[in-house]
Each structure stands twice: as C-alpha cells, then as structure tokens.
Amino acid sequence: EALFRAQTDVLTGVYNVSIRDVISNRLNGRSKESALVFLDLDNFKTVNDTFSHAKGDELLIHVGSFLRQQMRSGDLVGRVGGDEFVLFFDTVPSHEEIHERVKRIGHFMANYLRESFSELSVTCSMGIAFYPSDSNTCDGLFQHADTAAYEAKRLGKNRVIMYEENKFSFQILEDMGVSSFAQPYIPYEKKNR
C-alpha cells in the first residue's frame, strides 16, 4: 500500500512521475515493441486563469479517469506534469494501429470532456515514440515522444504526431537558427618541400 501511494498521483489516481521507473523496468531486456505517448492538454493555462484552479483540477481528474478507461491490460497511464500525461502501450500490433488508436482517444476525450465541461473546448496534442525503433532506452523514448508532442503543438495543436528522427533533427536545428549547407571536399595533399 505504501508503494501504491508513492507511485500514485494524488489528484488523478493514475501513476505519478514514478511511471518513468515502471516503464524503464518493463523495457529492461525486452525485445517486443512498445509505444509511449506524451499527451499535453492544449490551452490548459487558460482554464486555470479564466475559470479557477479548482476547475482545472476537476478537469485533470476527468482526464485521468478517461485515460484509465481507455487502457488495456498491461498498458499504463501517468501524469508527469501539470497538464501532461503519458500513455504506455505494452504491445504494438502496428505503428499505424497505435496512431489511429491514439487519434481516437484524443477525439473521444474531447467529446467526453465536452459533456462535463460544456463551457470549455478541451483538446490535446500528442506525440508517439516506439520502442525499440525510435529509442531503446526509456529516457530516449520519453524525449522523443515529448519532441513529437511539441511538434504537434507547434503545428497548431489538437493533433497526433509520430516521432521521425530525421524530420525532428532538422526541425530542431532550423528552430535554433542553424542552417546546413554542403561544402565540397578537397583532399589535402602534402607535398615534399
């Protein structure tokens, strides 16, 4: 019971940041494919600022409850920040199937929350990373899923983006103002003098 309380987010009843350790332990020595989804509620600060922090907390409770209901046996859900959640899919039938499932979760969550919070329009931006194809470490998986969620927000929010190494490496450099260009290779010839 003490372990359960230590790993549980008091507000939502899902895993807290300890989910990272739980996922890391699951991935240790594993060969089967898994997926991690980083979910960030869109415009959550507006809910707190416009209505109240109590309303924001109520919304988070509903989000946690909804996400728990969507998970299959063996899957995990956790709250890792104020309005940030992660979903861990223990098995991956295909990347496309997970992508479609995550899109449905986002769509159904918006409809579910609209029933309880009719005055709010609640959407989320989500990023997906796959183990081991995108990263074979838990830290890398979290980083890549977070990067993809950030890209979903950057592209206009309320969408799901799958991590793609080449795409995001280039985009990060571009956002930092770094431009890439090619220079011809001219071999240096050492001459005897």
Domains for the chain: give ranges and CATH numbers. Answer: 2-165 (3.30.70.270)
pLDDT given at position 171: 47
* pLDDT confidence band for 179 (50 / 70 / 90): very low
Pairing mode of beta strands 34-41, 124-131:
antiparallel
Rounded mean pLDDT, 159-185: 61
* pLDDT confidence band for 165 (50 / 70 / 90): confident
pLDDT given at position 57: 97
Rounded mean pLDDT, 87-105: 97
Rounded mean pLDDT, 71-78: 96
pLDDT given at position 183: 47
Pairing mode of beta strands 124-131, 160-162:
parallel
Q: Give Rg (Cα) of the chain.
A: 20
pLDDT given at position 160: 96
Q: Tell the residue number behind the tokens 């899923």, with chain if given.
A: 145
Using N-to-C axis directions, what is the helix angle for 138-154 and 165-175, rounded to 10°?
A: 60
- The backbone torsions φ and ψ at residue 38, rounded to the nearest 5 degrees and listed phi first, read -100, 120
- Residues 175 and 154: their CA atoms lie apart, in Å, by 11
pLDDT given at position 121: 85
Mean pLDDT estimate for the chain: 89
Rounded mean pLDDT, 56-75: 96
Please determine, for residue 156, whether its predicted confidence score (pLDDT) is greater than 90: yes
pLDDT given at position 137: 96
- The backbone torsions φ and ψ at residue 151, rounded to the nearest 5 degrees and listed phi first, read -65, -40
* pLDDT confidence band for 166 (50 / 70 / 90): confident
Please determine, for residue 85, whether its predicted confidence score (pLDDT) is greater than 70: yes
More confident residue, 110 or 165: 110
Burial of 118 (0-12, 13-18, 19+ CB in 10 A): exposed
- Residues 106 and 156: their CA atoms lie apart, in Å, by 15
Percent of the chain with pLDDT over 90: 76
**Are 36 and 128 a contacting pair, CB within 8 Å?**
yes
Q: Could you tell me the pTM of the whole model?
A: 0.84
More confident residue, 166 or 124: 124
* pLDDT confidence band for 182 (50 / 70 / 90): very low
